[in-house]
A = this chain, B = another copy of it.
Amino acid sequence: MESSSAPAALETAVTVPSSAFDVSRRPDTAGLVLNSPRPPSLREELVGVVGKAFRPRGAGTGGAGGDRRPPRFAWVLTALQAVFPVLQWGRTYTLKSFRSDVMAGLTLASLGIPQSIGYANLAKLDPQYGLYTSVVPPLIYAVMGTSREIAIGPVAVVSLLLSSMVQKVVDPAVDPVTYRTLVFTVTFLAGVFQVSFGLFRLGFLVDFLSHAAIVGFMGGAAIVIGLQQLKGLLGLSRFTNSTDVVAVAKAVFSALHDPWHPGNFFIGCSFLIFILATRFIGRKYKKLFWLSAISPLLSVILSTAAVYATKADKHGVKIIREVHAGLNPSSVKLIQLNGPYTTECAKIAIICAVIALTEAIAVGRSFATIRGYKLDGNKEMIAMGFSNVAGSLSSCYVATGSFSRTAVNFSAGARSTVSNIVMAATVFIALEFFMKLLYYTPMAVLASIILSALPGLIDIREACNIWRVDKMDFLICLGAFLGVLFGSVEIGLGVALAISFAKIIIQSLRPQVEVLGRLQGTNIFCSVRQYPVACRTPAVQVIRIDTSFLCFTNATFIKERIMEWVRAEVDTSNEKVRERVQSVVLDMSNVVNIDTSGLVGLEEIHKELASLGIQMAIASPGWQAIQKMKLAHVVDRIGEDWIFLTVGEAVEGCLTAHKGSAMEC
């Protein structure tokens, strides 16, 4: 056995008798490690990413179905189809689909009209602005978007976000005109940001909000929105502009000392119960889901009629009063790109843009997965961005995909974005002809419509799941939740982002270093902690570095952990050191990349082991890692003979070398 180095991990090699061939003839596989091609350099990778970003999608696979046209025209068509997916699906659109879409669009409108009015109220704008937002953005999205089910329009969280941030700049109660100007500017900029995210393939920005952060943030925002509705529900005149729990509780408490009119509370509560009851019925009997879809509209009609009949507005019931009728007016001149508040607006816009995209893409993806098609994140961003840019020019505020309305659209059988067009047309008709009817609509019923949409945002079951699965993620969730609740929406987001990134850095700071053992009778090496049946090899310690990036934050830590183990091993076998640990095999299969600090760390491990008389071998380093080790001459110093393709070969190689040296002694 003196000089055999049987490549034991090789299936074929098992049949090879472990007979005489000298140490220099290592398994061929070991040479593969050192002679692998050069990995793409930073520049090549960047060029690849940028090139991919600006190459039109689908150009590679050829214009689908356009093979007979001259190539130039095919390219133009492909490009047009890439920007306007309607050109693609429109050609196969059937009358049957259209019928489904009309039904879905009408159902959507019956839910969308009261919600839009309510959310406009939440955004501290007049009711018609919510309706405007349900007209233009859905039309633009319909021709540019790739999701088939999503329902575009104002949503609760973005409305809250917008009003809570813009009102810090200008108070809408004091100067509603400037407030509106700022809202449109923010909408315009948010649209521009969204388009540029899509163009520059910055879709990953949306991923910065982790699942846990979104759960916590949505829950907190829902409670804050609910608390804001106390104003409408209790018919209060004075209320706080702050969104945190403490300020709202104080405001409600002090308002209760003023005379208040229980009529508001009665109307709000009874219609809230009505809407929740219809939703319960809709959930139980799937066929009656339309009941829950039209119940908000029904509540508006019934409550308006009741107030008109009983003249309750004379007895303290707050009503909407005048609503401006007619189509969206132009707001081109209201957008201030070099006004005094532009920097503020840009800050608000970027937060709104990211949150709106996060919600839209989350909604779109979940329904796309159900239907089994793929959503193109970057195209979605461009579509959403253009919707908002167009919206900002026609008196709309930030629109995005709504959870609740998309679900209704899906249940009502929408087949394409045509349902959005139908919805927009219906809202347009309502704007043109029925606005006068809203005069007597009580504010309390709007509050109850918003309140009824909130339970969907609070996902307690998911929060429990997160707690069970990942305590650190729960901390992120809790941070976002409490931040929104007791600070503000921005603080909640900031806390969640900070904890999320701290987690990644901590993860890279303190990687695991696992001692590996062999599964008996096999050549599989695995962690002795994870698989207690694995046996450690006596003379050869196998240690796996469990990080994909051996870098400055963890190089020293890893070095110290490895040396601690080796020293402990040497100490316990004080007398016969030579017979215990003779080699250390570093399994670097997990180490994809390494930086110069990591290289220094590796060399130090090698030196310290050498000073203890222990040989170091390296098994299966990653592509970038081995390349950099070669460039930095670390391979030369460790010795090419001590780099192996698999742990099994490395252990075998070390054992052979020891036996060889033992024989020489």
Residues 604-632 of A at the B interface (beta carbon under 8 Å) = 604, 607-608, 611, 620, 622-623, 628, 631-632
What CA separation (Å) do A41 and B631 show in the bound complex?
Answer: 40
Say if the beta carbon of A595 comes within 8 Å of chain B.
Answer: yes
Say if the beta carbon of A10 comes within 8 Å of chain B.
Answer: yes
What CA separation (Å) do A646 and B647 show in the bound complex?
Answer: 14
Fill in one digit per residue for A162-203: 1 if any B CB lies within 8 Å of its CB, else 0: 000000000000000000000000000000000000000001
Which stretch of A295-303, A413-421, A426-434, A463-471 is in the interface? A463-471
- Checking B374, B469, B526 against A563 with a beta-carbon cut-off of 8 angstroms, the contacting residue is B374
What CA separation (Å) do A209 and B71 show in the bound complex?
Answer: 55
Task: State whether B552 touches A623 (Cβ < 8 A).
Answer: no
Fill in one digit per residue for A485-509: 1 if any B CB lies within 8 Å of its CB, else 0: 0000000000000001101110111
Which stretch of A31-39, A102-110, A328-336, A379-387 is in the interface? A31-39
Fill in one digit per residue for A465-484: 1 if any B CB lies within 8 Å of its CB, else 0: 11011111100000000000
**When A505-B504, A530-B36 are in contact, do A473 and B546 touch as well, CB less than 8 Å?**
no
Task: State whether A12 touches B522 (Cβ < 8 A).
Answer: yes
Chain B residues whose C-beta falls within 8 Å of the C-beta of A468 in the assembled complex: 631-632
- Checking B372, B523, B589, B623 against A11 with a beta-carbon cut-off of 8 angstroms, the contacting residue is B523
Residues 511-555 of A at the B interface (beta carbon under 8 Å) = 511-512, 519, 521-524, 526-527, 529-533, 546-549, 551-555
Say if the beta carbon of A600 comes within 8 Å of chain B.
Answer: yes
Task: State whether A530 touches B42 (Cβ < 8 A).
Answer: no
Task: State whether A473 touches B596 (Cβ < 8 A).
Answer: yes
Task: State whether A645 touches B524 (Cβ < 8 A).
Answer: yes
Task: State whether B552 touches A632 (Cβ < 8 A).
Answer: no
Say if the beta carbon of A144 comes within 8 Å of chain B.
Answer: no
Say if the beta carbon of A579 comes within 8 Å of chain B.
Answer: no
Chain B residues whose C-beta falls within 8 Å of the C-beta of A646 in the assembled complex: 524
**When A553-B504, A632-B465 are in contact, do A509 and B204 touch as well, CB less than 8 Å?**
yes
Say if the beta carbon of A240 comes within 8 Å of chain B.
Answer: no
What CA separation (Å) do A611 and B373 show in the bound complex?
Answer: 9
What CA separation (Å) do A251 and B399 show in the bound complex?
Answer: 57
What CA separation (Å) do A470 and B594 show in the bound complex?
Answer: 9
Task: State whether A548 touches B596 (Cβ < 8 A).
Answer: no
Say if the beta carbon of A14 comes within 8 Å of chain B.
Answer: yes
What CA separation (Å) do A468 and B627 show in the bound complex?
Answer: 11
Say if the beta carbon of A590 comes within 8 Å of chain B.
Answer: yes
Chain B residues whose C-beta falls within 8 Å of the C-beta of A563 in the assembled complex: 374
**When A211-B552, A531-B36 are in contact, do A12 and B521 touch as well, CB less than 8 Å?**
yes
In the assembled complex, the CB of A376 is this many whole angstroms from the nearest CB of chain B, namely: 10
Say if the beta carbon of A18 comes within 8 Å of chain B.
Answer: no
Task: State whether B608 touches A369 (Cβ < 8 A).
Answer: yes
Q: Of all chain B residues, which has the CB nearest A590? A: B590
- Checking B8, B522, B548 against A548 with a beta-carbon cut-off of 8 angstroms, the contacting residue is B548
Chain B CB count within 10 A is highest, among A213, A508, A597, A645, for A597
Identical copies of this chain, number: 2
Fill in one digit per residue for A430-474: 1 if any B CB lies within 8 Å of its CB, else 0: 000000000000000000000000000000000001101111110
Chain B residues whose C-beta falls within 8 Å of the C-beta of A32 in the assembled complex: 519, 531, 533
Task: State whether B9 touches A549 (Cβ < 8 A).
Answer: no
**When A12-B522, A546-B548, A571-B61 are in contact, do A469 and B599 touch as well, CB less than 8 Å?**
yes
Task: State whether A552 touches B14 (Cβ < 8 A).
Answer: no
What CA separation (Å) do A12 and B523 show in the bound complex?
Answer: 9
What CA separation (Å) do A42 and B506 show in the bound complex?
Answer: 13
**When A469-B632, A530-B36, A608-B369 are in contact, do A553 and B11 touch as well, CB less than 8 Å?**
no
Task: State whether B42 touches A472 (Cβ < 8 A).
Answer: yes
Q: Of all chain B residues, which has the CB nearest A620? A: B526
Task: State whether B552 touches A596 (Cβ < 8 A).
Answer: no
Say if the beta carbon of A207 comes within 8 Å of chain B.
Answer: yes
Task: State whether A596 touches B9 (Cβ < 8 A).
Answer: no
What CA separation (Å) do A203 and B556 show in the bound complex?
Answer: 10
Top 8 A-B residue pairs of the complex, sorted by shortest distance between their CB atoms: A210-B552, A211-B597, A372-B611, A548-B548, A530-B623, A10-B522, A469-B631, A42-B471
What residues of chain A have their CB less than 8 Å away from a CB belonging to chain B? Answer: 8-15, 29, 32, 36-37, 39, 41-43, 61, 203-204, 207-213, 365, 369, 372, 374, 377, 465-466, 468-473, 500-501, 503-505, 507-512, 519, 521-524, 526-527, 529-533, 546-549, 551-557, 560, 563, 571, 589-590, 592-593, 595-597, 599-600, 604, 607-608, 611, 620, 622-623, 628, 631-632, 645-646
Given contacts A37-B529, A41-B471, A507-B508, 6 further A-B contacts (CB under 8 A): A10-B521, A12-B522, A39-B530, A469-B631, A470-B596, A505-B505
- Sample of 23 A–B contacts (CB below 8 Å): A9-B522, A9-B524, A32-B519, A37-B532, A39-B530, A42-B471, A42-B472, A211-B596, A212-B552, A369-B607, A369-B608, A374-B563, A374-B608, A377-B556, A465-B596, A466-B596, A469-B631, A473-B596, A505-B505, A507-B593, A526-B645, A548-B549, A548-B590
